[in-house]
Amino acid sequence: MDHSESHYFVPQPSYWPIVGSFGLFCLLGGFALLLNDESLIGGYASGVGLLVFVGMLFGWFGTVVRESRGGRYNDQVDASFRWGMGWFIFSEVMFFAAFFAALFYVRNFAVPWLGGSGDKGIAHQLWPSFHAAWPLLSLPDAQHFTVAKEGMEAWGLPALNTLILLSSGAAVTWAHWGLKNDRRRQLIIGLTLTVALGVLFLFFQGHEYWDAYTLKNLRLSSGIYGSTFFMLTGFHGAHVTIGAIMLFVILMRSAMGHFTPTNHFAFEAVSWYWHFVDVVWLGLFVFVYLL
Amino acid sequence: MAEIALHGEEHGHPTGLTRWLFTTNHKDIGTLYLCFSLLMFFIGGSFALVVRAELFQPGLQFVSATTFTQMTTLHALVMIFGAIMPSFVGLANWMVPIMIGAPDMALPRLNNWSFWILPFAFVMLLSTWAMPGGPPTSGWTLYPPNSLQTGMAFPFVIFAIHLMGISSVMGAINIVTTIFNMRAPGMTWSRLPLFVWSWLITGFLLIGAMPVLAGAVTMLLTDKYFGTSFFSAAGGGDPVMFQHVFWFFGHPEVYIMILPAFGIVSQIVPTFSRKPLFGYHSMVYAICAIAFLSFVVWAHHMFTVGMPLAGELFFMYSTILIAVPTGVKVFNWIATMWRGSLTFETPMLWALAFIVLFTIGGFSGLMLGLAPVDFQYQDTYFVVAHFHYVLVTGALFAIVAAVYYWLPKWTGHMYDERLGKIHFWISAIFVNVLFFPQHFLGLAGMPRRIPDYAVQYAEWNMISSIGAFVFGFAQLLFLYNLIRAVRGRGPRATAQVWEGAHGLEWTLPSPPPYHSFTEPPKIDDAQAHS
């Protein structure tokens, strides 16, 4: 906490935040209209909102990159970014926690109770012919749901994907060593490998989803098993996508020589994010696929 | 360290509309938050007055049953996410950098974004009045299946809540980062003012709890529009599960709305007692203990929904345990005043009313926390009385106290002391006329969120409604007093403002310069421990 040599940095007024708010407002408002079958105006509004939002990300991060490369930041700003990114990842962890909690709750309480066991097994009287099982394929009342034929396998693609994502975590760390030791080739190769493994992961997950939809007839609407499976893996996949895009940006910036062995927090922030996505996947592999 | 220590180009004072739209200045953003929350306070208050007008007499007089329940829903959402939380963030924006000796917040652009998401979120939320079917009738807790029967408004409400969540989480990240990273040399953890401590812990609660709410309402959205069955037993889910996930957010949320109030009272009571705060360290430990416990008590909001007995017992004991650190805090405030040289300026009056009336809310909370007793009280006006004592005479009274306390610092002018006292006495009396009878109504069995009632509840409802209207319109005195000081009508405030005040904020002139500290101030024990 020694500021004796550093100067405070306070940025100039910026129009990017309010542009971002407007983009988010249009994006979400448009999406809400789409959900109400107002497809024309909803489509335009969400499309414009998305463009504005992406433009804001370019503009805002562009400003930060310019300021950073212009030597305007000191150790205190660097530390603020570190604290900010760390707490942001913690908030993401808590977002996933809500969905994991839903999974644990239905598996340990809701489904067994509906099946007649446990403290609130009286719920069995709702559908006396229902048998609790996991994966839950035959639903208490299948009338409004798509009945799935089978659950997901752990030891096929998901196991391979686990290996791929763990390898990508190792690759990004290897790239980081390259950056710290000023070995550019290792940095670029490591990052390219990380992005490629991330894309491969997404490809396999897409393949797995396709199988689930066509062969297994497993949908979001297949009862609580399909709901938890697709929401957990879907939000994770969305985070892998975001992480892969961020890694790609970092790869481009590395190729342009933006980073030095001592000053490269953008790289570290994205690698933290990537490791977080990795750890969430391990949780998914164990609790969604394996157990 | 001799030269000007600020790097930004904006040494000048930006003016006009763009000053407010593009600002990265913590004081401007704090002012925006406070003005926004004041507006929301009056909007949410007018919804409450519709509710109280309808309940003035039995029978349906003014609004339909649907509109009535929509009023209760939006009253709560506006007051919680629009009035109480943003006003605490506004106070943090104004005061935390000054109190820790920083030039500004750690992430000033993010700070701007946290605020400027809110007006968009509330436009989205309030626009649901114009939609076919109107806002949800489920109350702010949005329990399924009721909330899933909302019409066109449903996704707008969900996305408005997402936006408010993004705003709160970013604001909290900024405040936590500021406190960790921007303290001036010598501002050690044990010298940190209690308001800053309380906000540090609140920030942690916000970052931990708000994303869980986002997850809960996302599941509601997919249940309605994408065929998932999280909260439908027919598909193997459970509507009660929503309540678990919601209250895992909802209970820390309760402390998000009261911990900064504890911090404010811990600043004000020592100032007007002319004594240091009694038991500084125990105050900090108590805040931490309350914050920890707040994550393991959520199911006391749902004792009657059908939980295993072990769950009922665990959540009852953990709930009652919170009384211990809360009791420590109340004891310490009283011990601070013990043999102090007390004066009763307006901020002190509000803080004292907080201590007395919040404690009443705490006691009714103890009653509700006992599972077997709660079976009688749940879903009655007793619950309404309880949480309004905690949130109105608790959180809101502390906010008003803080505004009177720091307004001379912000504006450079004193408010009208006599008018402030009149505002206080009318508010303090009629808030009790408003809410205390609701205890009796609840104990007699009057259900909440119902627009009509049996005639035996008529007298206390009428008295409660009279209290509501007088309390509500008395706040116009507050508005007038604020505008008066902002427009510079009162006498000029000194830097010290209050004779017994300690802390860095009182070392700066009133109003403080645009950038509070361009060089880190040196802090010694004399300035610490306000």
Give the pLDDT confidence of B320-374 residue by residue, as tens digits: 999 999 999 999 999 999 999 999 999 999 999 999 999 999 999 999 999 999 9
Q: Is the pLDDT of residue B9 over 60?
A: no
Where in the sequence is the domain holding A19, given as residue range(s)? 14-72
pLDDT band at A144, cuts 50/70/90?
Answer: confident
Residues A95 and A41 in one domain: no
Q: Is A84's CB within 8 Å of B177's CB? A: yes
A238 and A200 in a common domain? yes
Q: What is the C-alpha separation between A217 and B371, in angstroms, rounded?
A: 45
Q: Could you tell me the CATH number of the domain that includes residue A47?
A: 1.10.287
Q: What is the CATH number of the domain that holds A141?
A: 1.20.120.80
In-domain check, residue A256? yes
A169 and A235: one domain? yes
User: Residue A152 phi/psi, 5° resolution?
Assistant: -90, 150
Structure tokens at B250: 């909802």
Class of the domain covering B32-506 = mainly alpha
The answer on A103 and A61 residing in a single domain is no
Angstroms from B37 CA to nearest CA on chain A: 18
DSSP string, B157-195: HHHHHHHHHHHHHHHHHHHHHHHHH-PPTT--GGGS-HH
**Arithmetic mean of pLDDT, B466-480:** 97
Angstroms from B406 CA to nearest CA on chain A? 24
List pLDDT tens digits, range B214-228: 999 999 999 999 999
Contact at 8 Å (CB) between A111 and B229? no
The answer to whether residue A36 neighbours chain B at the CB level (below 8 Å) is yes
Which backbone phi and psi does B466 adopt, to 5 degrees? -60, -45
Q: Which two tokens stand for residue A59?
A: 């503009």
- Structural contact between residues B156 and B127, judged by C-beta atoms closer than 8 angstroms: yes
Q: How many domains does chain A have?
A: 2
pLDDT at position A287 over 50: yes
Question: CB distance from A22 to chain B under 8 Å?
Answer: yes
Residue A223 is nearest to which of B19, B226, B236, comparing CB atoms? Answer: B236
Choose between A12 and B41: higher pLDDT: B41
> Do A96 and A63 share a structural domain?
no
- Residue A229's identity, in one-letter code, is F
Point out the residues of B that are catalytic: 75, 104, 140, 167-168, 251, 253, 255, 266, 300-301, 326, 329, 448
pLDDT band at B37 (very low <50, low <70, confident <90, very high): very high
Within-domain flag for A9:
no
User: Please, what's the b/e burial string for B293-321 (b: 16 or more CB within 10 A of its CB; e: otherwise)?
Assistant: bbeebbbbbbbeeebeeebbebbbebbeb
Q: CB B228 to CB A221 under 8 A?
A: yes
Cα B498 to chain center, whole Å? 25
How is chain B split into domains, by residue range?
32-506
Distance, in Å, from the CA atom of B424 to the CA atom of A127, rounded to the nearest integer, reads 58
Both A142 and A276 in one domain: the answer is yes
CB proximity A62 to B under 8 Å: no
- DSSP class of residue B107? S
Q: Is residue A187 part of a domain?
A: yes
- Both A161 and A268 in one domain: the answer is yes
Q: Is residue A182 part of a domain?
A: yes
Query: Given A8, A21, A98, which is nearest B7 (Cβ)?
Result: A8
**Nearest chain A residue (CA) to B121:** A25
Contact state of A36 with B107 under an 8 Å Cβ cutoff: no
pLDDT beyond 50 at B10: no
Contact A274, A168 (CB under 8 A): yes
